[in-house]
Amino acid sequence: MNKKIINLQQKLKIKFNKKSLLITALTHKSADQKNNNEKLEFLGDRVIGLVLSTKLYELYPDHSEGILDKKFANLVNGKVCCNVAWSIGLQNYIIIGNKTKKITLNDEKILSDSCEALVAAIYLDQGLEKVKDFILNIWKKNIEQSSVLLLDPKTKLQEYSLKKYKKLPNYKVLSSTGPRHNPIFKISVSITNTKTYIGEGRSKQQGELNAASKLLQHIDIN
């Protein structure tokens, strides 16, 4: 393990003062029920959140809270954390109970949790500025892609209505027909100064999306 720890530090370009922190960050609960990375994962999640939300706040000063929230969610979900972990080769250093198992991209939770735990270990060992540089570097590609955000019709309509009228769109369930296991919902939506538009879907969410899409077409917003 000592060789691996040395190798990982060289790869990360970080020399830990407390090597035990790094080892704990890499230890999955299947390998050690007591001394594992679960608590570090908890802390790392918050550190990542602080660094990335601050970066988005700085990058997009004119964007609303709703848009920033969606951009943030696209940066910190499990899949992204998993891919970030994979990109730095963390899969080769994680300590799991089954020594013959090879960690793959399908082990999303193990990779994601380990990535968050590693961030926490760097934060505790090296401080905020060092971990900030580390996060912004390994998330660089995802941060650059955050400039492009495809919004669903509901979000687009909500953003428009809040900006123009300071009010949320008004959705109503008009009816639910068909069998219980496969219903069709009819949903209406309106905003200030528009007529009511109706959408249908196999779920309330889908009905709302379809209704919002029709209203957006009416006010000529793509």
Active-site positions? Answer: 45, 116
In sequence order, the 6+-apart residues with CB closer than 8 A to the CB of 23 are 1, 5, 95
CB 136 within 8 A of CB 55: yes
Closest CA to 158 of 166, 149, 150: 166
CB 201 within 8 A of CB 184: yes
Q: Report the amino acid identity of residue 98.
A: N
Q: For the packed helices 108-126 and 38-59, what is the interaxial angle rounded to 10 degrees? A: 80
